[in-house]
Amino acid sequence: MTDATPTPDDQHARVVVIGAGQAGLSVAYHLRRLGLRPGSDLIVLDRAPSTGGAWQYRWEALRLGSAHRVHDLPGMRAMGLRFDDADRSRPARDVVGEYYRRFEQHYDLQVRRPVTVTSVTRAGTGLCVTTRTPDGRVARITADVVVSAAGTWGTPFVPWYPERDTFRGRQIDTTEYRSASEFRGQDVVVVGGGTSAIGFLLELDGVARSTRWFTRRPVEWSDTAGLDLESAVAAVDEQDRAARAGETLPSIVSGTGVPVSRRIRAGIDRGILHAEPVFVGMEPDGVVTREGEHVHADAVIWATGFRADLRHLAPLRLRTAGGGVVVADGRSADEPRLFLAGYGPQASTIGANRAGRLIARQVMDALPVP
């Protein structure tokens, strides 16, 4: 069956939300409060097999903390739930998955999963969302408005380096990391300057035979254990500027720095968290530094960030020469029936919840009178 084949599952909704992570659930919550009925007026689609957004894929050892913080969804506190009160001894993926499941059930959001959105196309006065389920079943939903909240987890970014393809060891990205035990007794190179890279290095300490850490730019350590508000605002402003200009979005951590928790401070003091300028090339059994040193590696972990997942929007031809999509206040400048939640200034927990209310109100204003 191809995407062009009509199916009996075709239906119409006033709004389709793509993605049930923090941004998608926030928008769906506010749309429900504004009068849309989940399951009919409002359809929420999620490609993941379970609740929790990208958190359900995180590695088992990851715990919630200052460097990996999840903000409460709107309406969670009314349920008596707060992430600040969550059990930090449990894997973060389990905690977030449980809280999001309870949230979806409490507000009866009727999320459909696992459903992959393969494309969004123009269809008369609306947009057509084509979906596929794991068993190959194709369906279409025409919508007056579409909110894409697909996030970034599905599109990890791995940069190219000379001779990268000749490396004979193991190469994985952040989405493929499961446990430090997989690298026991190995020489491991970790690439990337964010919290995931730092977490991997700390977990590999005492498990791997050796670790070397390489970053494209110097790591900016924050003096406080929590996120600095002024830096966070500046980082969000830079994301907003890039989104409005249609440029590739910068990372949030490049503008905020990394909060230094006690665990991170201990890693710095022990020399585990010592970043070196990124290498200039790769060889079959390692990497070559700028100084010409050969660093042996059995494995390379690319914790080099993500790009916004816009693949399903390709038929709309919204990408600019700068590599992004022009988005202002969550709305596409070139397709007014499309909103992007969790994009640009909303791409982290810093802005996702606030943006949910803003986007929901704009969506309601954009809907045709029934």
d(CA 287, CA 341): 38
- What does the block give as tokens for 123? 């269809």
Answer CATH for 164-223+260-302 from 3.10.620.30, 3.50.50.60, 3.30.1050.10, 3.90.1150.10:
3.50.50.60
d(CA 347, CA 22): 10
Digitized pLDDT (tens) for each residue of the chain, 370 residues in all: 333 344 445 899 999 999 999 999 999 999 999 999 999 999 999 999 999 999 999 998 888 875 567 889 999 999 999 999 999 899 999 999 999 999 999 999 999 999 999 999 999 999 999 999 999 999 999 999 999 999 888 899 999 999 999 999 999 999 999 999 999 999 999 999 988 999 999 999 999 999 999 999 999 887 764 444 444 545 555 656 666 666 665 555 554 578 888 899 999 999 999 999 999 999 999 999 999 999 999 999 999 988 889 999 999 999 887 778 888 888 999 999 999 998 865 555 555 667 889 999 999 999 998 7
DSSP state of 249: P
Domain 11-154+306-366: which CATH class? alpha beta
Contact between 16 and 45 (Cβ < 8 Å): yes
Contact between 309 and 155 (Cβ < 8 Å): yes
Q: Which residues contact 47 (CB under 8 A, 6 or more apart)?
A: 19, 113, 114, 115, 116, 117, 154
pTM: 0.86
Stretch(es) of the chain classified as CATH 3.50.50.60: 11-154+306-366, 164-223+260-302
Measured between alpha carbons, how far apart are the two ends of the chain, in Å?
33
- Helix, strand, or coil (residue 227): coil
**Preceding amide of 114 cis, omega within 30:** yes
Report how far Cα 325 is from the mean position of its chain's Cα atoms. 17
